[in-house]
């Protein structure tokens, strides 16, 4: 694992930290590949329930490392795209914990996660257009899916950032914190990790993929995600724990 990315496990949650504070956590190819490797670990280890992606030194990610770009390097993973996560997602949930700036590819990386917790003073933006570039890591595509078109156009065409409170109002952010964003992210991760792991994976898959499904084919497309859930040991344990008024003990099967 690259020293540009730190990985730790805390209470069943994989915490992945972009560790280039001297460069505002600008993304390099090695960091992107390390994040992708961490996401593979998230899916591979049954004791891990979800992940938090954050940045060291009070900044989430300021986008592509321009020095590397000028030398011909693109900060992408062959499967996961920018930051190892913008064109692929693990089966388990990923929470972005955003302090400081999430700009350009950094904003796209945050949006590639499933949920976002941000410090109240954090800022989000895709300023690529100010440098003659295009937000090609998903920003120009995702914004009009998340916002009314005029608002998406304004953010994309001006390149100006918005604050976390405005992002919360627009539904781009789940929660904001007055302290470090990772504190709120850990709280949210804990709520997710307490649930049935098979059900969490299936539910993320449905929420992520179902916007492509024709209404008349919803059940047909959903069945492969849930067919094994209702006959699982976890489903029986969840019902039993409810009846016995205790916390369930999940087995992931």
Q: Which residues does residue 163 pair with via DSSP β-bridges, in sequence order?
A: 123
Q: Are 50 and 93 in contact (CB under 8 A)?
A: yes
Distances in Å between the Cα of 129 and the Cα atoms of 70, 96, 123 are: 17, 24, 17
Residue 115's H or E segment, with its range, is strand 115-119
Query: Residue 61 gets which letter from DSSP?
Result: B
Residue written as tokens 């699982």? Answer: 232
d(CA 226, CA 3): 39
* Active site (catalytic) residues: 108, 128
d(CA 40, CA 154): 36
d(CA 151, CA 155): 6
């Amino acid at each position: 694992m690259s020293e540009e990315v730190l990985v730790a496990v805390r209470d069943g949650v994989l915490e992945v930290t972009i560790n280039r504070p001297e460069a505002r956590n600008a993304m390099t190819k090695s960091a992107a590949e390390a994040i992708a490797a961490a996401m593979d670990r998230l899916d591979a280890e049954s004791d891990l329930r979800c992940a938090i992606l954050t940045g060291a030194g009070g900044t989430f990610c300021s986008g592509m490392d321009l020095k590397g770009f000028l030398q011909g390097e693109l900060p992408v993973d062959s499967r996961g795209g920018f930051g190892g996560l913008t064109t692929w997602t693990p089966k388990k949930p990923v929470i972005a914990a955003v302090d400081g700036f999430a700009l350009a590819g950094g904003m796209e990386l945050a949006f590639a996660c499933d949920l976002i917790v941000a410090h109240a003073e954090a800022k989000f933006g895709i300023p690529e257009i100010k440098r003659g570039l295009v937000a090609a890591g998903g920003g120009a595509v995702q914004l009009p899916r998340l916002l009314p078109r005029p608002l998406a156009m304004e953010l994309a065409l001006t390149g100006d950032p918005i604050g976390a409170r405005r992002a919360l109002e627009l539904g781009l952010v789940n929660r904001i914190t007055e302290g470090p964003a990772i504190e709120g992210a850990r709280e949210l991760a804990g709520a997710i990790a307490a649930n049935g792991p098979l059900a969490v994976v299936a539910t993320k898959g449905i929420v992520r993929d179902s916007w492509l499904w024709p209404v008349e084919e919803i059940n047909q497309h959903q069945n492969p995600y849930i067919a094994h859930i209702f006959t699982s040991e976890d489903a029986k344990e969840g019902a039993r724990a409810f009846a016995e008024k205790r916390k369930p003990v999940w087995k992931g099967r």
